[in-house]
Amino acid sequence: MVTESAEALDARNAVSDRLRRLAQAQGRLDGLNAELEAELQAVRRRRDGAIARLQRRVDAMLSELEAYCRAGRDAVLPEGRKSLVTAFGEVSFRKAEPSLVMEDGAGEEEVCAALTARDLGDLVRVHQSVDRRALRKALDDGRLSARELRRVGLELVEKDDVFGCKIRRDALVAVGGQGA
């Protein structure tokens, strides 16, 4: 039978106590967040109709303003001006760049293949990237050395262990510390 030192036992008990206190605090935090979310949902339900009506009105007003400005553009923006600033806001027109869009049914691969077939492959991007997983495997297998890795401009950097903590709320409830 292996006996633990008093120091090791004290350290484990200290960690257990800290986890218990953390779980209690997390439980209180979760409870407060749940209460807040319930209150927010109640407010949202009360305001949803009014917000939706007002949003529709704002959208319609913006559409009407745009239509009015487009229809009377020369009067609203005389002499080739691009914007009109008033005490209540600004309207403007800017030249929009045309965009290339895929025709219905055409996918990226098909378009790239069609460009390449027409000797327009220089208009197709080819993206290459380092396969980190394969490099790690090659290092582990001995197919690649750290020295060779440095020669190509890479370095394997060791990191600190990742700390993890999982709170067992069921255990906290079992000992009477609901945490709320």
Render pLDDT for 143-175 as a digit per residue (tens, 0 to 9): 988 898 888 888 888 888 777 777 777 876 776
* Residue range(s) defining the domain that contains residue 124: 107-156
| Domain annotation covers residue 48 | yes
Residues 12 and 64 both lie in one domain: yes
Cβ atoms 139, 146 nearer than 8 A: yes
- Distance (Å, whole) CA 24 – CA 64: 56
pLDDT of residue 98: 82
| Domain annotation covers residue 163 | no
The SS3 assignment for 84 reads: strand
| Domain annotation covers residue 115 | yes
pLDDT of residue 142: 92
CA 100 from centre of chain: 27
Residues 14 and 59 both lie in one domain: yes
Residues 16 and 73 both lie in one domain: yes
Average pLDDT over residues 110-118: 90
pTM above 0.85, yes or no: no
Residues 64 and 15 both lie in one domain: yes
- Distance (Å, whole) CA 153 – CA 133: 16
Counting the structural domains of the chain, the total is 2
| Domain annotation covers residue 119 | yes
Residues 68 and 118 both lie in one domain: no
pLDDT value at 24 more than 80: yes
> Which of 29, 15, 31 shows the shortest CA–CA distance to 166?
15
| Domain annotation covers residue 25 | yes
| Domain annotation covers residue 140 | yes
Residues 15 and 51 both lie in one domain: yes
pLDDT band at 31 (very low <50, low <70, confident <90, very high): very high
